[in-house]
Amino acid sequence: MEGDSDRVYVVLTTKHHEGFTNWGSPVSWNWNSMDTGPHRDLVGELGEALRESNLRYGLYHSLMEWFNPLYLADKQSEFKTQTFILKKMMPELYDLVLKYKPDLIWSDGDWEAPDSYWNSTSFLAWLYNDSPVKDTVVVNDRWGRGCSCRHGGFYNCADKYRPGTLPDHKWEMCSSLDRLSWGYRSNMSLAEVMDEMSMIEELVQTVSLGGNYLLNVGPTKEGVIAPIFQERLLALGRWLDTNGEAIYESQPWRVQMENTTDTVWYTSKGPVVFAIFLLWPRDSVLHLSSPIPSPDTQVTLLGFAGTLQWQKHPGEGMLITLPYMLPSPLPPQSGWTVKLEGVSCVGVELLQKGRTMCV
């Protein structure tokens, strides 16, 4: 994904529900990555490496802790006390922001208590008004029971959430290469790992509906990403090397999906429309019913040189003649992109930064 690093962010789990912190938390004595285990500041080291590569850095942080006696005591009081918040959770959250200055905070573990227990509004007011990242940071929507999909810089709504239609708020689809777990499992089988086609389908559908795609990998206890996960991530990177023009900095088009099939999805950049088709048509002729072609319309296939022949469909849309593909004993890849320039607009929507979108 070279050349697109500023549009990519990496999120590290600084602390999950069991309470172990991957940095030297001052309020998690002997239960952190400096005092035990690797004896290293994993949050700090990864942050330095990412920023050297010009990648955005996000920090996942669980508000709750399953086994912490302070939290369990607050829970026993029906969250009328806030001992855990004042002595453990908030000091750590402030420490993360002040020490590592994240670009994104991915909050989780909020569902058992309201935002008033977590002191979410007080923290967010400080974050956006007085913190060292107040002008750049973004957050998700997990800051208290009932907050999800209602309040937040961007919405997660639920794990692996897929909206049926174009949302009116920025959102993120959070998925995992291991279909059954977010953390590493030594007993994971190959059938339980997302294949290349599934990754590309999720990415394309998410971006067509205006979302960001966050793909989770659970490393081993030694901090190693399993070879099968490496293979999947590299495959997705190769696909983006060819088709990234239709993904990065794109906007939803007036139509997100062809009304005749769920295997053709659209994105756009200004007047340019991209049609991403997940299955190669048997006769190598792609029918797109949604674009309105004009005499000046030009069609190209990303990754292939030259323009493609097309003609108006007798009903609506256009028929595009795709390049001949040599037969191969290998399984076909998933996802190709045709770039449409000069299609007619039925309206023009003004976007931020002076850009326009052909709709």
Whether 120 contacts 142, CB under 8 Å: no
Burial of 107 (0-12, 13-18, 19+ CB in 10 A): buried
The pLDDT value recorded for residue 275 is 97
Q: Please give the torsion angle defined by the CA atoms of residues 83, 85, 89 and 90, in that order, rounded to the nearest 10 degrees.
A: -130
Residue 21 CA to residue 63 CA, distance in Å, equals 12
Domains of the chain: 9-246 (3.20.20.80), 251-358 (2.60.40)
The pLDDT value recorded for residue 316 is 87
Cα dihedral sign, 243-246-249-252: negative
Return the DSSP state at 325.
-
Q: Which residues touch 331 (CB under 8 Å, ≥6 apart)?
A: none
The pLDDT value recorded for residue 331 is 56
347: amino acid identity, one letter: G
pLDDT by position in tens, the chain (length 359): 333 555 789 999 999 999 999 999 999 999 999 999 999 999 999 999 999 999 999 999 999 999 999 999 999 999 999 999 999 999 999 999 999 999 999 999 999 999 999 999 999 999 999 999 999 999 999 999 999 999 999 999 999 999 989 999 999 999 999 999 999 999 999 999 999 999 999 999 999 999 999 999 999 999 999 999 999 999 999 999 999 999 999 999 999 999 777 899 999 999 999 999 999 998 899 999 999 999 999 999 999 999 999 999 988 899 999 998 755 555 557 899 999 999 976 544 444 444 445 55
The pLDDT value recorded for residue 330 is 54
pTM: 0.90
Helix (H) or strand (E) run with residue 314 in it: none
Whether 250 contacts 307, CB under 8 Å: no
The pLDDT value recorded for residue 344 is 77
Whether 323 contacts 217, CB under 8 Å: no
The pLDDT value recorded for residue 36 is 96
* Residue 174: alpha-carbon gap to chain centroid: 6
Residue 312 CA to residue 314 CA, distance in Å, equals 6
Whether 233 contacts 217, CB under 8 Å: yes
The pLDDT value recorded for residue 218 is 95
**Nearest Cα to Cα of residue 275 among 306, 217, 319, 231:** 319
